[in-house]
């Protein structure tokens, strides 16, 4: 029996739960929210698609009742406020740090063995907060950002190539911020060919720029941040854990010297299986990529420092 809890049944959390149930990733999916009745209502609505879509995962909704989340294998934390147009993710720290810290503590009481996937923004700092405050081993706390950013990178690459996104490879490392993301164009390929051999430099630079502000672009269009791709990206990560798929996925994890960084959670390629982080994969970065990674880490560290200023760490 596999069980996944999603905390926060808002746009991202509910989408994630829906994808998990539809793809039968787990036998049981629990949604928990503080808003009375919302999780219960969304769970019932999703269950009423089962006969139409043909899945048999159990879906449970609850209002702040952590007992219902007991013995989850994986818990996805999406609780917290999203940004509005014109805001950065970092501006959410004041509200979201308190929410993430208290939710993570409650989760641990009922699911001491769970792997925690952090989605709430600013995600790199929220992952660091969860890791530091829970005291779990580093393989068990994973931030979801690079999974989504890489999917957006593949989307923009596929548009530029006039190709199917599933035939494009590409990964984004670094922080999950408008200026901290690093789409690795040198490793991106289409049907095995480096994209730099197919696209001109100007087109490739635009793909990179569009990827980096992918979340901000959608926030401008929607009035709140995106949810379909974020929810699907979180579910993709959960699936690699629950089904021990050992996919290499860019994820935000605690580093102890890997990629030249220590005491930070930031996006790097990670082999994800039933133990969560099973290996940090060492892509050999060139000097330019290393410099970008250092700059990205410095920016993430500056946001982490705010946790102490606001007394949550």
Ligand X SMILES: O=C(O)C[C@H](O)C(=O)O
Ligand Y SMILES: NC(=O)c1ccc[n+]([C@@H]2O[C@H](COP(=O)([O-])OP(=O)(O)OC[C@H]3O[C@@H](n4cnc5c(N)ncnc54)[C@H](O)[C@@H]3O)[C@@H](O)[C@H]2O)c1
Q: H/E/C letters for each residue in 188-242?
A: CEECCEEHHHCCCHHHHHHHHHHHHCHHHHHHHHHCCCCCHHHHHHHHHHHHHHH
The residue range among 44-52, 60-68, 82-90, 274-282 that interacts with ligand X, by the rule CB under 6 A, is 82-90
Give the x-and-dash track for 254-293 against ligand X (CB under 6 A): ----------------------------------------
Query: Nearest distance from residue 194's CB to ligand Y, in Å?
Result: 27
Q: Which does 189 bind (CB under 5 to 8 A by kind): ligand Y, ligand X, none?
A: none
Closest of 242, 213, 311, 244 to residue 76, by C-alpha = 242
Closest of 79, 65, 107 to residue 16, by C-alpha = 79
Phi, psi of 135 (to 5 degrees): 70, 25
Q: 3-state class of 313 per DSSP? A: coil
**Binding positions for ligand X, 181-200, rule CB under 6 A:** none
Any contact of residue 123 with ligand Y (CB under 6 A)? yes
8 Å CB contact between 268 and 174: no
| Nearer of residues 121 and 304 to ligand X, judged by Cβ | 121
| Nearer of residues 64 and 217 to ligand X, judged by Cβ | 217
Q: Which does 219 bind (CB under 5 to 8 A by kind): ligand X, ligand Y, none?
A: ligand X
Query: Nearest distance from residue 214's CB to ligand X, in Å?
Result: 6
Token representation of residue 282: 């060492």
**Count of CB atoms situated within 10 Å of the CB of 226:** 20
| Nearer of residues 116 and 161 to ligand Y, judged by Cβ | 116
**Count of CB atoms situated within 10 Å of the CB of 93:** 24
| Count of residues near ligand X by CB under 6 A | 12
Q: Which residue is nearest to ligand X (CB)?
A: 215
Give the x-and-dash track for 213-242 against ligand Y (CB under 6 A): -----------xxxx--x------------
Query: Nearest distance from residue 80's CB to ligand X, in Å?
Result: 11
Query: Nearest distance from residue 38's CB to ligand X, in Å?
Result: 20
Q: 3-state class of 253 per DSSP? A: strand
* Cα gap 237→164, rounded to integer Å: 21
Residues that bind ligand X (CB under 6 A): 82-83, 89, 121, 148, 176, 215, 218-219, 225-226, 230
């Amino acid at each position: 029996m596999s069980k996944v809890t999603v905390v926060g049944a808002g746009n991202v959390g509910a989408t994630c739960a829906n994808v998990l149930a539809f793809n039968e990733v787990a036998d049981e999916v629990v949604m928990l929210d503080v808003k009375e009745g919302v999780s219960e209502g969304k769970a019932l609505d999703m269950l009423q698609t089962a006969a139409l879509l043909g899945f048999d995962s159990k879906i449970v909704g609850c209002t702040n009742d952590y007992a219902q989340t007991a013995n989850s294998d994986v818990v996805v934390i999406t609780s917290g406020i999203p940004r509005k147009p014109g805001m950065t993710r970092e501006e959410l720290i004041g509200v979201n740090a308190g929410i993430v810290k208290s939710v993570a503590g409650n989760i641990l009481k009922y699911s001491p063995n769970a792997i925690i996937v952090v989605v709430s923004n600013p995600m790199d700092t929220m992952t660091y907060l969860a890791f530091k405050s829970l005291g779990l081993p580093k393989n068990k706390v994973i931030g979801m950002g690079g999974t989504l950013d890489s999917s957006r990178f593949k989307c923009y690459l596929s548009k530029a190539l006039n190709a199917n996104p599933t035939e494009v490879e590409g990964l984004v490392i670094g922080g999950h911020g408008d200026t901290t993301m690093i789409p690795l164009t040198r490793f991106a390929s289409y049907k095995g060919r480096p994209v730099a051999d197919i696209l001109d430099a100007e087109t490739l630079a635009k793909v990179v720029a569009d990827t980096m502000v992918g979340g901000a672009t959608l926030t401008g269009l929607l009035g709140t941040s995106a949810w379909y791709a974020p929810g699907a990206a979180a579910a993709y990560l959960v699936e690699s854990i629950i089904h021990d798929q050992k996919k290499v996925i860019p994820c935000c994890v605690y580093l102890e010297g890997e990629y030249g960084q220590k005491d930070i959670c930031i996006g790097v390629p990670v082999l994800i299986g039933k133990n969560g982080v099973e290996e940090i994969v060492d892509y050999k970065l060139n000097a330019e990529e290393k410099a970008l990674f250092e700059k990205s880490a410095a920016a993430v560290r500056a946001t982490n420092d705010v946790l102490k200023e606001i007394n949550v760490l």
